[in-house]
């Protein structure tokens, strides 16, 4: 029998690959155009899954899924903007904040209590993010204070952190709806299809308001259709594994959130090498500290 740990392990590999493909796509595409094209393709790729399920979901849950899709759409756009303007070896490890946010929200809304190890894990995540932001200056005090200045003034860091908070809230609600201990639990595949369709609708509205609507999606397909299509396939597969794991009662949402961030090591180090980004030793050490903290959060 496939365990939830094996499913999350699959998402680790797929999300790492997806992060690198996303960075490559954003070299050519505007964040909004990329996001709309990507969401359109993920919805299209999800529709064949209808043949494998009975799409019977209550109106109340459909409304909650739409709310999650709004959070997901906004967070995806913010992450795309941050990824486009930040090195992948800097942006990817920031996602290790996710387990800290999820653990805190789980404490308040799902009665998941924090242990001493989990508190230590949160501290390590914050420490790792601080090390990640340190710039090489002549003055020691300038080096010491540089992360605070960067986080205070970089809007792209703010974008990513706020996006991760939205994802964490969506994860808490999604876990509640998917957990098979819940008598009204939603089928994971049905959840994923509805989520992807709503997300595509959200981005169509956004690109229509702020850009040129469906023409922008067609432009994205013509300009980077192959790589965005490949990334959409990777993310649909990753999300399918993820929602299946979230439906298993033994798999707590904070534990899933922590383990899936192991992909940050792969994407930060490998992505940094592929895109020839500097300070790789510093960023690799920071990434490992943050992942260690993520693991402690969920032990």
Mind listing the pLDDT tens digit for each residue in 143-159?
Answer: 555 555 555 667 788 88
206-230 average pLDDT score: 88
What's the rounded Cα separation, in Å, for the pair 140 and 122?
Answer: 26
Residue 276, classed as helix, strand or coil, is: coil
pLDDT digits (tens, 9 = 90+) for 246-263: 999 877 787 787 777 667
Query: What's the first-to-final CA gap in the chain, in angstroms?
Result: 23
- Higher-confidence residue of 245 and 94: namely 245
Q: Return contacts of 162-166, CB within 8 angstroms, 24+ apart.
A: 162/75, 162/78, 163/74, 163/75, 163/76, 163/78, 163/79, 163/82, 164/75, 164/94, 164/95, 164/97, 164/98, 164/101, 165/101, 166/71, 166/72, 166/74, 166/75
Helix residue ranges per DSSP H, the chain: 4-26, 31-46, 59-85, 88-94, 97-109, 116-133, 140-153, 155-178, 188-210, 214-246, 253-260, 263-274, 280-298
Which pair of tokens denotes residue 204?
A: 């169509």
* Residue 142 predicted with pLDDT over 70: no
What is the rounded average pLDDT of the residues 106-111?
78
d(CA 72, CA 149): 28
Q: Which of 3-7, 52-56, 135-139 has the lowest mean pLDDT?
A: 135-139
Compare 24 and 134 and report the one with higher pLDDT.
24
CA angle 73, 78, 82 (to 5 degrees): 145
Mean pLDDT for the stretch of residues 95-109: 78
Q: Which is nearest to 257 in space by CA: 134, 106, 115? A: 106
What is the CB neighbour count within 10 angstroms for residue 144?
12
- Top pLDDT among 245 and 291 is at 245
Its pTM stands at 0.79
Specify the residue for token string 């860091």: 157
How high does pLDDT run on average in the chain?
80
Does residue 95 or residue 200 have the better pLDDT?
200
Instruction: Return the higher-pLDDT residue of 16 and 228.
Output: 228
């Amino acid at each position: 029998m496939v365990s939830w740990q094996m499913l999350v392990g699959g998402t680790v590999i797929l999300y790492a690959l997806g992060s690198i493909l996303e960075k490559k796509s954003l070299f050519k595409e505007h964040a909004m155009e990329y996001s709309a094209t990507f969401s359109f393709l993920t919805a299209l790729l999800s529709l064949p899954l209808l043949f494998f399920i009975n799409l019977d979901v209550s109106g109340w849950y459909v409304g909650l899924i739409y709310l999650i899709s709004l959070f997901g759409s906004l967070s995806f756009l913010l992450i795309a903007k941050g990824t486009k303007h930040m090195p992948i070896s800097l942006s990817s490890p920031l996602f290790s904040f996710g387990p800290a946010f999820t653990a805190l929200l789980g404490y308040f809304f799902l009665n998941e209590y924090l242990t001493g190890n989990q508190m230590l894990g949160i501290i390590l995540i914050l420490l790792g993010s601080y090390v990640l932001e340190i710039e090489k200056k002549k003055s020691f005090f300038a080096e010491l204070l540089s992360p605070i200045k960067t986080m205070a003034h970089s809007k792209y860091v703010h974008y990513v952190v706020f996006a991760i908070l939205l994802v964490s809230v969506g994860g808490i609600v999604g876990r509640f709806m998917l957990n098979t201990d819940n008598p009204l639990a939603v089928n994971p595949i049905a959840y994923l299809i509805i989520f992807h369709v709503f997300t595509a609708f959200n981005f169509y509205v956004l690109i229509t308001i702020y850009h040129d609507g469906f023409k922008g999606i067609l432009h994205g397909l013509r300009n980077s259709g192959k790589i965005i299509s490949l990334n959409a396939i990777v993310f649909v597969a990753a999300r399918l594994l993820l929602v299946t794991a979230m439906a298993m009662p033994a798999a707590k949402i904070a534990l899933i959130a922590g383990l899936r961030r192991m992909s940050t090591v792969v994407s930060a180090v490998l992505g940094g090498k592929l895109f020839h980004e500097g300070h790789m030793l510093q960023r690799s050490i920071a990434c490992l500290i943050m992942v260690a903290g993520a693991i402690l959060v969920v032990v």
